[in-house]
Amino acid sequence: MGAKKGAFETVLGTGWARLRGQVARMTRREDAEDLLHEAWVGIAERQVDAANSAALLARSAANRGIDAYRRERRFAATTGADTMRVAETIVDLHPLQDEMLIARHRLERLRLGVAQLSPRTREIFLMHRLDGRKYREIAQDLGISQSAVEKHIAKAMGHLTDWMEHW
């Protein structure tokens, strides 16, 4: 490929990288190098002579990019729905057995960590996390300040984070 690039640069009087960048801008595709190479081979095989070889090569590569884009869209349109239906029948959305086992062990570990909390901190933590109650509501129900609720939640989260990380 290096020999072709060298010969190409000599014949056209311009750089391969410059043309590749131009094709990439024109097509907005990541395979500009491949498009440019295919265009170069096609022009060389047909022995086309042009007044502006660089422009011909860039336009030919861009046209190949447009053709590739159209093929991809047509293929996606014809196979997209069918592929989705096939995938839906094949895909098993259930977790793997080892994932379930790990999740059960983690849940049991979390239960043990929650059991280690003081009764008041555990109560406040569960009211917030399981019942979805706001700090303000918990504070009103228990007759404590919202700041106290925040401190209990922070204490519980700190303990459980350490407990789960050092497992």
pLDDT digits (tens, 9 = 90+) for 65-100: 888 888 888 877 766 656 656 666 666 778 888 889
pLDDT digits (tens, 9 = 90+) for 19-59: 777 788 887 878 888 887 888 888 888 887 777 777 888 88
User: According to the model, what pLDDT value does residue 114 have?
Assistant: 96
pTM attached to this predicted model:
0.46
Backbone angles phi, psi at 18, to 5 degrees: -65, -45
Q: Say yes or no: 85 and 108 in one domain.
A: no
Range of the domain at 69: 2-90
Q: What integer is the mean pLDDT of 3-12?
A: 46
Q: Say yes or no: 56 and 110 in one domain.
A: no
Q: Say yes or no: 8 and 75 in one domain.
A: yes
Q: What is the mean pLDDT of the chain?
A: 82
For residue 15, give the amino acid letter. Answer: G
Is the CB of residue 52 less than 8 Å from the CB of residue 19?
no
Q: Say yes or no: 102 and 134 in one domain.
A: yes
Q: Say yes or no: 34 and 102 in one domain.
A: no
